[in-house]
Amino acid sequence: MSFEQLEKTILEKINAAVNEVLGQPPQQLEIGFPPDPQMGHFAVGCFPLAKQFRKSPAQIAGIIADRLKPDAVIQEAVAAGPYINLKIESQVLFGDLCNRIIHEGTAYGTSAMGRGKRAMVEYLAPNTNKPLHLGHLRNGALGMSVANMLEATGHRVIKANLVNDRGVHICKSMLAWQRWGNATTPESEGIKGDHFVGNFYVRYSREAEKNPQLENEVQQMLQQWEAGDPKIVELWKMMNGWVYDGFAETYRRFGLEFDVFYYESETYKLGKDIIQQGIEKKVFSTDAYGNTVFILPEKVFGRDKSDGLKKVTVLRPDGTSLYITQDIGTAILKITDHNLDYSIYVVGSEQEYHFKCLFAILEALGYEWARNCYHLSYGMVYLPEGKMKSREGKIVDADDLITEMVKLAEAEIRQRDPQGRLAEDEIKNRAEVIGVGAIKFYLLRVRPAQSINFDPAESISFDGFTGPYCQYAYARISGILEKAKPARQQSAGTDYSLLGNAEELQLLQQLSRLPGELKNAVQDFNPSKIAVYIFNTAKAFNQFYNKHPVLKAENEQLVNARLGLIRAAAVVLKKGLNLLGVEVLENM
């Protein structure tokens, strides 16, 4: 019997009891957990029945609890105020769930709710004039995690990266290299390509302060690029190539994957024809300045400062396009390229208004799927000194941060291995998994809408509510299972009725929650729910671990039962961490 079936069985028994004692079946009751597992394994609040039977919830709970006699499933039913607390026979409670989790393995918790649905997760959207920073890491961690969660719920997921590879800012680093680069390359200087190019972007900003004339040169360069000037295009290709090499390294290291790349150099002219069609369909109009505009529906957007209807410009009078123009085109391109059911944009909260407008326009143009476009908005990452600004150098570089965290993890590993028994590459590998895991967990543990005040001291912690804490719980279990092997394989004859102490119950209850937690998390694109859940599960295991021996339990039957429990816990921890994009280690 699965947990869901178990809950259903319990409700059926209660329904039957109510019908017998009170003369009619009850309205919909919900099953939950008592605050303390010692009180019972499940709880049912009787509030909805108060009106139906004109008795206080406590009275009703008492009547029902008296009627529920112990049987093969229910061990005990006790009324506690308005609640009925139920204890379940251990073999049923533990055995069924542990067997199921061990049997299903990584499939545990997954569902088919998205079967047949195709979802695109667009995330990261870097600029090719500078390296990635902490904000990109939050975006990347969110994007990967949401993609993982969608996959785990049966969706076919396409991960897309919309690369901002053109525009004045790109020309700035190009111009700087042209003037002061002396034909150097990332190879010749031994610098990662994106950093190499980023240095020229910074150089430009410095020089432009002294020499305003540079601004004109950049504009001129942009025009040459748009005109397809072979020399400029070649320079652009070469420098972007350097950047992509650099990005690829960071993607690999941080575990970011993409199925499709869209480049703005290829999409920036999209959307214009759609605007033309929209004009014919009278979706767009021309304003007093000659702009082609979309009038935003008052019901949703309200009115502007001077009490007029709000509008958004989609084409300038000279016919040139805007950010939103190409986004309209790209949105349509994505759908036609990949036959999508859902389109998810992982973009910072400062662009909420933009996406609200974009989706409204798409809907007005008659695209039904516009309702299945979601802006996964997330809060900013603030540094102790304030908002990150790359031009002022107030920034946390992604590569630097990763390297720093990995270094700290490495130091920690060496400290635990004073005799130097570990091989160098083993140390390096562990440090990488722990360091990267710590960053991802740190960025995902708060809900997306929350802005993050980046606290270096807190972010480098490996204790408490952190990735390494959860990884450590997994590694501990692996250690035990390793020692138990090969003598004991989980057998169908494991006697789970021996389990039932407070820590075992707490752990089991945690394990039962994964399917529900995943469903909740994916519904509002919120990986923090998984992070919190996995932390609580790791904690439940650690509490159990500290109080009860597994391999040295009183007798062989108990050893086997506890092995089954922690084997199931390992499955859940690994699954949950993987959903966050965090890897696990067998040893730490």
Partner RNA sequence: GCGCCUGUAGCUCAGCUGGAUAGAGCAACGGACUUCUAAUCCGUAGGCCGCAGGUUCGAAUCCUGCCAGGCGUACCA
Does residue 277 interact with RNA by CB under 7 A?
Answer: no
> By CB under 7 A, what part of segment 304-323 binds RNA?
304-305, 310-313, 316, 322-323
Beta bridge partners of 374: 344
The alpha carbon torsion through 427, 439, 510, 9 (nearest 10 deg) reads -120
Instruction: Give the largest Cα separation in the chain, rounded.
Output: 92
Which of left, alpha, beta for 449 (phi over 0: left; psi -120 to 50: alpha)? alpha
> By CB under 7 A, what part of segment 125-164 binds RNA?
164
Residue 316, Cβ neighbours under 10 Å: how many? 14
Rank residues 191 and 295 by Cβ distance to RNA and give the closer one.
295
Does residue 421 interact with RNA by CB under 7 A?
Answer: no
Out of 35, 116, 420, 493, point to the residue binding RNA (CB under 7 A). 35
Stretch of residues binding RNA (CB under 7 A), selected from 93-101, 189-197, 446-454, 567-575:
446-454
Which are the contacts of 301, defined by CB distance < 8 A and separation ≥ 6? 310, 356, 360
Residue with the two structure tokens 């533990």: 94
Rank residues 480 and 577 by Cβ distance to RNA and give the closer one.
480
Rank residues 167 and 179 by Cβ distance to RNA and give the closer one.
167
Rank residues 180 and 323 by Cβ distance to RNA and give the closer one.
323
Pairing of strands 292-295, 285-286: antiparallel
Tell me the closest approach of the beta carbon of residue 549 to RNA, in angstroms. 4
Tell me the closest approach of the beta carbon of residue 572 to RNA, in angstroms. 16
Rank residues 372 and 429 by Cβ distance to RNA and give the closer one.
429
Rank residues 185 and 224 by Cβ distance to RNA and give the closer one.
224
Q: Is omega for the bond preceding 549 within 30 degrees of 0, making it cis?
A: no
For residue 185, which amino acid is it? T
Q: What is the DSSP string of 297-349?
A: PHHHH-B-TTSPBPEEEEE-TTS-B-HHHHHHHHHHHHHHHHT-SEEEEEEEG
What 3-state class would DSSP assign to 555? coil
CB 77 within 8 A of CB 86: yes
Tell me the closest approach of the beta carbon of residue 485 to RNA, in angstroms. 11
CB 533 within 8 A of CB 518: no
Rank residues 192 and 359 by Cβ distance to RNA and give the closer one.
359
Nearest partner of 330 among 389, 267, 273, 388, judged by Cα: 267
Rank residues 185 and 291 by Cβ distance to RNA and give the closer one.
291
Out of 211, 353, 366, 371, point to the residue binding RNA (CB under 7 A). 353
Q: How far apart are CA 179 and CA 175, in angstroms?
A: 6
> By CB under 7 A, what part of segment 197-256 binds RNA?
none
Rank residues 177 and 462 by Cβ distance to RNA and give the closer one.
462
DSSP state of 231: H
Rank residues 12 and 304 by Cβ distance to RNA and give the closer one.
304
Tokens of 333: 């391109």
Pairing of strands 74-80, 83-88: antiparallel
Tell me the closest approach of the beta carbon of residue 98 to RNA, in angstroms. 17
Out of 36, 66, 234, 273, point to the residue binding RNA (CB under 7 A). 36
> By CB under 7 A, what part of segment 524-583 binds RNA?
528-529, 532, 535, 539, 542-543, 545-552
Secondary-structure percent of the chain, ordered helix, strand, coil, rounded to 5: 55, 15, 30
Nearest partner of 509 among 484, 482, 488, 539, judged by Cα: 539
**Positive or negative torsion for Cα 60, 65, 68, 73:** positive
Does residue 463 interact with RNA by CB under 7 A?
Answer: yes
Does residue 480 interact with RNA by CB under 7 A?
Answer: yes
Q: How far apart are CA 581 and CA 530, in angstroms?
A: 11
Rank residues 179 and 316 by Cβ distance to RNA and give the closer one.
316
Tell me the closest approach of the beta carbon of residue 436 to RNA, in angstroms. 12
Convert residues 87-116 into a mask of x (bound to RNA by CB under 7 A) and - (unbound): ------------------------------
Beta bridge partners of 287: none
Stretch of residues binding RNA (CB under 7 A), selected from 137-145, 329-337, 450-458, 569-577:
450-458
Nearest partner of 131 among 61, 65, 191, 204, judged by Cα: 191
Phi, psi of 343 (to 5 degrees): -130, 115
> By CB under 7 A, what part of segment 357-386 binds RNA?
379-380
Stretch of residues binding RNA (CB under 7 A), selected from 18-26, 43-51, 231-239, 568-576:
43-51
Stretch of residues binding RNA (CB under 7 A), selected from 11-19, 45-53, 135-143, 152-160:
45-53
Residue with the two structure tokens 């710590």: 438
Which are the contacts of 420, defined by CB distance < 8 A and separation ≥ 6? 414
Stretch of residues binding RNA (CB under 7 A), selected from 29-37, 93-101, 216-224, 231-239:
29-37
Beta bridge partners of 425: none
Rank residues 302 and 393 by Cβ distance to RNA and give the closer one.
302
Out of 476, 513, 574, 575, point to the residue binding RNA (CB under 7 A). 476
> By CB under 7 A, what part of segment 54-73 binds RNA?
57
Out of 430, 440, 513, 574, point to the residue binding RNA (CB under 7 A). 430
Out of 77, 158, 475, 534, point to the residue binding RNA (CB under 7 A). 475
Stretch of residues binding RNA (CB under 7 A), selected from 20-28, 216-224, 272-280, 476-484:
476-484
Out of 3, 6, 14, 34, point to the residue binding RNA (CB under 7 A). 34
> By CB under 7 A, what part of segment 496-535 binds RNA?
520, 528-529, 532, 535
Out of 60, 405, 434, 580, point to the residue binding RNA (CB under 7 A). 434
Interior angle at CA 514, CA 483 and CA 106, nearest 5: 55
Q: What is the DSSP string of 159-201?
A: EEEEEB--SHHHHHHHHHHHHH-TT--HHHHT--HHHHHHHHH
Out of 11, 31, 43, 191, point to the residue binding RNA (CB under 7 A). 43
Does residue 483 interact with RNA by CB under 7 A?
Answer: yes
Q: How many residues bind RNA (CB under 7 A)?
A: 93
Tokens of 532: 């919190």
